[in-house]
Amino acid sequence: MNLNIALLAGDGIGPEVVDQAVKVVNAVAHKFNHTVNWTSALTGAAAIDAVGEPYPDETHEVCMAADAVLFGAIGHPRFDHDPKATVRPEQGLLKMRKKLGLYANVRPTFTFPSLIENSPLKRERIEGTDLIILRELTGGIYFGERGRKDEGNTAFDTCTYTREEIQRLAKLGFEMAMGRRKKLCCVDKANVLESSRLWRETVQDMEKDFPAVEVSYEFVDAVAMRLVQWPSSYDVIITENLFGDILTDEASVISGSMGLMPSSSIGIHTSLFEPIHGSYPQAAGKDIANPLATVLSAAMMFEDGFGLKEEAELIRTVVNKSLAEGIVTEDLAGKGNKAYKTSEVGDWLAANI
Ligand SMILES: NC(=O)c1ccc[n+]([C@@H]2O[C@H](COP(=O)([O-])OP(=O)(O)OC[C@H]3O[C@@H](n4cnc5c(N)ncnc54)[C@H](O)[C@@H]3O)[C@@H](O)[C@H]2O)c1
Ligand SMILES: CC(C)[C@H](C(=O)O)[C@@H](O)C(=O)O
Ligand SMILES: [Mg+2]
């Protein structure tokens, strides 16, 4: 098969972790006789520096022409520490999600047997966790009307959702639940927010179409607690953009590191695969960041993007083996154990494919 992949490395640790995923994808392609055509393009602060815009038209064209997009991370402290900056790397990510129609972001959380002790949470709480947070990605407060008034002394961001936006995300959530443990939890703040009440009403209306799915409705503040208290009780969670962003970083504590959390974004025009973490600027250029979130995102690309399940499973098996054998970066190494470099982990994975 010919695999045309757009490669958007981005900023900070983005290029380093993406490099390791490329090694692994190339090794898998070689083994299964696929041809990979990589096309790199600029995004984030790197694109601002080069052409003054975080998601240039040329990058969009590269993404549109590809079968899938593999994305690293964007963001730079010089923008994070300047609230008055008008052009920001994150705008590029949001523009890209909107223009590619990436409305559903699938963020799985699972535990790795060899890493159970890495989590600050107790073994009996997290063992057996296998949940998906399905985050709406092109609506809500991220894309609503915003601005300043009163000479800049009052600011507002608006959360807007249409019934159609909720339906398409929820439909995916019901379908995913059907293929899993048939449990769906709609996470909202319907006791306060009108947009959340539309979420609840819409999902309730859809229940009759999926009678086998057991649906629950929980408030986001309570879920923030239950997610770390009893994560294995969840199967598929559907939620709006901002709640999904926050809950998925929280869920990384269950797996043991932000460097382990992959995602796939299902889109109207193409699909995109990216770790959920950011550009981790403190680690940039040091060859210490964990590449597994990006490598596991590449596994999702094989399965969800290309329909190549065996290839995806091979990547996951080799990742599990690396964890079991302690071929891990410093975030997972534990006190007194050897920490491998980002590039060494990538080399080991590629050699063991
Ligand atoms: N999708 C994205 O591109 C994305 C996502 C989140 C944040 N950001 C941007 O990244 C920049 C930094 O943001 P932040 O510090 O809040 O979040 P971050 O995810 O970059 O880092 C938070 C913490 O998570 C851990 N971590 C993250 N990635 C890791 C990895 N691969 N290996 C090991 N540990 C890892 C580190 O302890 C780090 O301090 C900001 O500019 C932010 O806007 C981008
Ligand atoms: C960088 C930022 C815009 C982004 C988001 O909030 O969606 C990030 O936190 C993520 O989770 O991908
Ligand atoms: Mg986030």
ipTM of the complex: 0.99
Q: By the 8 A CB rule, do 296 and 255 touch?
A: no
> Bridge partners of 186?
217, 238
CA 172 centroid distance within chain? 16
Same structural domain, 130 and 242: yes
Residue 114 in domain: no
Q: By the 8 A CB rule, do 21 and 30 touch?
A: no
The residue-averaged pLDDT of 119-131 equals 93
Residue at which a domain ends, from 208, 233, 255: 255
The residue-averaged pLDDT of 340-351 equals 98
Nearest ligand to the C-alpha of residue 95?
A: 2
Q: Which amino acid is at 295?
A: V
Question: Which of 104, 28, 34, 136 is closest to 272 using CA atoms?
Answer: 104
What integer pLDDT is reported at residue 331 of this predicted model?
95
Residues with CB under 5 A from ligand 3 (ion): 245
Q: Which amino acid is at 260?
A: L
Cα separation, 76 vs 98, in Å, equals: 21
Q: What pLDDT digit, counting tens, does each position of 228-273 carry? A: 999 999 999 999 999 999 999 999 999 999 999 999 999 998 999 9
For 221, the domain range is: 120-255
Element (H, E) at 56: none
Which of 90, 273, 277 to mutate to test ligand 1, by most ligand atoms within 8 A of the CB atom? 277
Q: What pLDDT digit, counting tens, does each position of 6-31 carry? A: 999 999 999 999 999 999 999 999 99
Residue at which a domain ends, from 212, 229, 255: 255
Q: Is 142 a catalytic residue?
A: yes
Q: 206: phi > 0 → left, psi -120 to 50 → alpha, else beta; which?
A: alpha
Residue 113 in domain: no
Residue 263 in domain: yes
Cα separation, 73 vs 79, in Å, equals: 14
Q: Is 221 a catalytic residue?
A: yes
E-strand ranges in 111-163 read 130-136, 146-149, 154-157
What angle (nearest 5°) sits at the alpha carbon of residue 111, between those of residues 108 and 114?
145
DSSP letter (8 states) at residue 11: S
Cα separation, 147 vs 52, in Å, equals: 23
Same structural domain, 133 and 194: yes
Q: Is 189 a catalytic residue?
A: yes
Ligand 3 center from residue 259 Cα (angstroms) = 13
The residue-averaged pLDDT of 286-313 equals 98
* Residue 236, ligand 2, Cβ within 6 A: no
* Residue 121 Cα distances to 116, 258, 277, 317, 323, angstroms: 9, 15, 20, 25, 19
Residue at which a domain ends, from 240, 255, 270: 255
Tell me the binding residues.
Answer: 97, 107, 135, 221, 245, 249
Same structural domain, 231 and 291: no
